[in-house]
Amino acid sequence: MTVLDRAPPYRVSVLATPDTLASPLLSIYDVMGSISQLRAFDSAVPSEPPYHVEIVGETAGSVMTASQVPVIIHRVIDRGDRTDMVIIPSIMTDTSTWHRGRHPQVTQWLTAMHEAGALVCASCSGVFLLAETGLLDGKEATMHWSHAQAFLKAFPEVKLNLAKVLAVTGGRGEIVMSGAATSWHDLVLYLVTRQLGNAVAHVLAKFHAMQWHADGQAPFVVFTPAMDHGDVLVFKAQQWLQANYSIGIPVEEMVRLAGVPERTFKRRFTRATGLSPIQYVQHLRVDQAKRLLESTSIPVDEISWRVGYEDPAFFRRLFKRLTGVAPGAYRKTFTLPDFDRF
């Protein structure tokens, strides 16, 4: 049985640890805790609070968050607790590594809450704590793209899909994750839609100017390839490619410069970076194209040529496949306005 098997109100436990970032924690708390106040704008909103939101932690009193903002703990976690939903907000952590076992009490509590039927949710880097439970083993997950390398090293059994802004898994859809930073918007809108209906979610989105990232997370991902793999030959090829990605036959040139058989080079490159040489070139070229689209008014056809593609149609198809949006749409979304006009 899960929380969806009964009517509201739902008890929501937002987890706070010394690693937690205050802004997403308090935003989730405020937005979910004040839904009934929006009934003044639309009768679809429940007159009684559908969520009883509390901040939970490992110790009583307050916790100094990673943002250096103290947050009051409403209830200390205990494996005998009852809650309908757990939400793990973003945490502050090194993007290069994750040391497992840092919050054993939290891990045990999360596991117990899941076994008792609660929805278990995590946003952004909070997925690290969720993965500690083992509930994500063999399942698809998403998180902030900047933590991908550290996450995969710590949890290689998890199927990380950074293109998704939202991942819902588990036998009953009881595990929910959202991607980068403010994608907690997507998490909350999903939960409200699932539990209270579309009409309430629309009111919430309009009132708070919350946006659903319909194109997923792929447009936001910055290409950050693994460079600490220890293969010097591949590392040198990556460095060379960074300056020469736009030449006509970069893979063949890398093989020639490496001085090893082609099959050997491609095998080592793929093992070290997780991408074949041609996939790596494509990601690097598209990443450079994204920068040009963001910062210049250069026509898309010329950008295609600058990053190494003579066929603009092929470039457009590749760009959309890797980012989820067309180059023109990407430029419209990510070009900053002329603030001097405001």
The closest alpha carbon to 298, from 282, 281, 315, 314, belongs to: 315
pLDDT in tens, the chain (342 residues): 555 557 889 999 999 999 999 999 999 999 999 999 999 999 999 999 999 999 999 999 999 999 999 999 999 998 778 899 999 999 999 878 899 998 999 999 999 999 999 999 999 999 999 999 999 999 999 999 999 999 999 999 999 999 999 999 999 999 999 998 889 999 999 999 999 999 999 999 999 999 888 888 989 999 999 898 999 999 999 999 999 999 999 999 999 999 999 999 999 999 999 999 999 999 999 999 999 999 999 999 999 999 999 999 999 999 999 999 999 999 998 888 777 666
Residues 32, 51: Cα–Cα separation, whole Å:
7
Q: What is the pLDDT of residue 4?
A: 57
Q: What is the pLDDT of residue 94?
A: 84
- Note whether 275 and 227 are within 8 A (CB): no
Amino acid (one-letter) located at 200: V
Residues 157, 147: Cα–Cα separation, whole Å:
16
- Note whether 239 and 227 are within 8 A (CB): no
Amino acid (one-letter) located at 149: Q
Q: Of all helices (H) and strands (E), which one includes residue 159?
A: strand 159-160
Alpha helices in the chain (DSSP H): 22-33, 104-115, 127-131, 148-154, 184-196, 198-208, 232-244, 250-258, 262-273, 277-295, 300-306, 312-323, 327-334
Instruction: Give ∠ CA 219-90-275 in degrees, rounded to 5.
Output: 40
The closest alpha carbon to 161, from 217, 215, 119, 212, belongs to: 217
- Note whether 47 and 54 are within 8 A (CB): no
N-terminal to C-terminal alpha carbon distance within the chain: 52
- Note whether 150 and 186 are within 8 A (CB): no
pTM given for the model: 0.88
The domains of the chain, with CATH numbers, are: 3-219 (3.40.50.880), 232-334 (1.10.10.60)
Q: What is the pLDDT of residue 5?
A: 59
What b/e string do you get for 48-58 counting C-beta neighbours within 10 Å, with b at 16 or more? ebbbebebbbb
* Residue 61, number of CB atoms within 10 A of its CB: 9
Q: What is the pLDDT of residue 214?
A: 85
